[in-house]
Amino acid sequence: MDTNRLSKKMAAALNAQMTKEAEASQIYLSYASWASNQGYGGTANFLFRHAQEERNHMMKILEYILKRGAEVKVTAIAAPPPNPASMYNCFEKVFSHEVDNTTSVYSLVKLSLEEEDWATWNFMQWFVKEQVEEETLAMELLDKLKISGGEKAGHNELYSLDRDLENAPDSAKSAQDVTADKP
């Protein structure tokens, strides 16, 4: 008896999104390493924590595919884009990345609607909400940098932003109970 509850198309789309979340984790790891090399330890800390969050997103999708009886395909992942040119550029890149990921999440929601796969539609709503939070976070950071002069932000402003980011809370991630630490 076939117990797979995902269509072929949906399983492929979910696997692609799982890979995209793994790539997002690598992107944050690379930007965090860049920030650390520039001396922005607080920003690096914030971005390293976010890399872990992206890995948790990957795990949620992996777990969902398994729970629906479909096959998980772990593949190679793309290398991150080039390093940012500045702190402002770093958060521009973070924001663009999140918007790109939102587009991908929306296409999964659309597919679930077309297929009347309400379980996947329901599952993806967590990601829709998460993307709103992540875009908002990136927007707020860009706004702070804009207020501080954008590309021309001085050492004092960058120092204080960096210090704030060291202690910036992670957005709560309790809607789904799977994490990379507790699969």
Decide: is 117 part of the binding site for ligand OFO (CB under 6 A): no
Decide: is 57 part of the binding site for ligand OFO (CB under 6 A): yes
Q: How far is the CB of 164 from ligand OFO (least distance, A)?
A: 20
Q: Which of 98, 112, 120, 158 binds ligand OFO (CB under 6 A)?
A: 98
Decide: is 134 part of the binding site for ligand OFO (CB under 6 A): yes
Integer Cα distance of 183 and 178 in angstroms: 5
Q: Binding to ligand OFO (CB under 6 A): which residues in 68-87?
A: none
Decide: is 101 part of the binding site for ligand OFO (CB under 6 A): yes
Q: How far is the CB of 57 from ligand OFO (least distance, A)?
A: 4
Q: At what angle do helices 8-38 and 87-115 cross, to 10 degrees?
A: 170
Q: How far is the CB of 51 from ligand OFO (least distance, A)?
A: 10
Q: Please, which residue, 91 or 153, has the CB nearer to ligand OFO?
A: 91
What are the structure tokens assigned to 34, written together? 């860049």
Decide: is 93 part of the binding site for ligand OFO (CB under 6 A): no
- Of 28, 134, 124, 27, the C-alpha closest to 77 is 27
Q: Which of 6, 22, 24, 137 binds ligand OFO (CB under 6 A)?
A: 24
76-84's contacts with Cβ under 8 Å and 24+ in sequence apart are: 77/19, 77/22, 77/23, 77/26, 78/23, 79/26, 80/23, 80/26, 80/27, 80/29, 80/30, 80/31, 81/27, 83/30, 83/31, 83/34, 84/31, 84/34
Q: Please, which residue, 24 or 161, has the CB nearer to ligand OFO?
A: 24
* Residues found near ligand OFO in the complex (CB under 6 A): 21, 24, 54, 57, 98, 101, 130, 134
